[in-house]
């Protein structure tokens, strides 16, 4: 089955700096890579996703890059703000049919004002 | 539009007791799943369902049962609670599992003493 590794497990940055979270996956059949943000005490919510036919996707201050050859993808947050503080999960799955989603262990991001 | 509704939000059980966590969605999603979230271990899949009458085991199914009699509901049963089942539980639904956004319930914080 799929295995997703995520690092770092914790990350502290100064407000205004950039943050990068990296994930690797093992199953070459995976073609859908979402990122979820979980604020303290809340449910995970999708913030951005990327499919294997795209190398990069941006949405305002967040971007995701995908390297299919190396089987890794990354989340980039620029100009970090205190409200970016949360746990971020990467995930991987195959979009063909009803497929399970495998999550990484999560990265706790702390943005220091 | 309520999305995914999960109850209860908090629960304390004694070892050996049984209980059912309720999950309902109103988005007509075929795919529903249960995860447990433990520190440093991310979101681990317990059981999932690809439609009414169809369920399957995930990564950590032992000690849990599920059923899917309707598209809307996917309850999780703890048969005989153990301290190792102390965790935060999330129900999620999506239209097809892999390849589509997962919508999570609010979570249940379960403590087994």
- 3-state SS track over B35-86: EEEECCCEEEEEEEEEECCEEEECCCCCCEEECCCCCCECCEEECCCCHHHC
Confirm or reject contact between B57 and chain A (CB < 8 A): no
Rounded CA-CA distance B110/A77 in Å is: 33
Give the tens place of pLDDT for each residue, A51-103: 988 899 999 999 999 999 999 999 999 999 999 999 999 999 987 767 789 99
Q: Which two tokens stand for residue A21?
A: 């979270």
List, in order, residues 6 or more apart from B85 with CB less than 8 Å away: B36, B63, B78, B110, B112
Q: How many other β-carbons are positioned within 10 Å of the β-carbon of residue B28?
A: 9
Confidence check: pLDDT of A25 > 90: yes
Low-confidence ranges of chain B (pLDDT < 70): 1
- Between A and B, how many residue pairs show a Cβ–Cβ distance under 8 A? 72
Helix (H, G, I), strand (E, B) or coil at A82: helix
Q: Which residues of A touch B41 (CB under 8 A)?
A: 105
Beta bridge partner(s), residue A46: A36
**Closest chain A C-alpha to B15 CA, distance in angstroms:** 25
Report pLDDT digits (tens) over B79-99: 999 999 999 999 999 987 778
């Amino acid at each position: 089955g799929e295995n997703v590794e995520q690092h770092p497990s914790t990350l502290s940055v100064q407000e205004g700096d950039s943050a990068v979270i990296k994930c690797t996956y093992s199953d070459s059949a995976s073609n859908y890579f979402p990122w979820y943000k979980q604020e303290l005490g809340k449910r995970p919510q999708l913030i951005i996703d990327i499919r294997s036919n795209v190398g990069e996707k941006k949405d305002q201050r967040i971007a995701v890059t995908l390297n299919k050859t190396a089987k890794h993808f990354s989340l980039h947050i620029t100009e970090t703000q205190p409200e970016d503080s949360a746990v971020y999960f990467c995930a991987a799955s195959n979009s063909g049919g009803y497929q399970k989603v495998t999550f990484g262990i999560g990265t706790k991001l702390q943005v220091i004002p | 539009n309520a999305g995914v509704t999960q109850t209860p939000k908090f629960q304390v059980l004694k070892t050996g007791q049984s209980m059912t966590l309720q999950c309902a969605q109103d988005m007509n999603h075929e795919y529903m799943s249960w995860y447990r979230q433990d520190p440093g271990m991310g979101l681990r899949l317990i059981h999932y369902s690809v439609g009414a009458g169809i369920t399957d085991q995930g990564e950590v199914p032992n000690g849990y049962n599920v059923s899917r009699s309707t598209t809307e509901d996917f309850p999780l049963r703890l048969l005989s609670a153990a301290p190792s089942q102390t965790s935060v539980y999330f129900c999620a639904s999506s239209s097809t599992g892999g390849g589509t956004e997962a919508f999570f319930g609010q979570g249940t914080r379960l403590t087994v003493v």
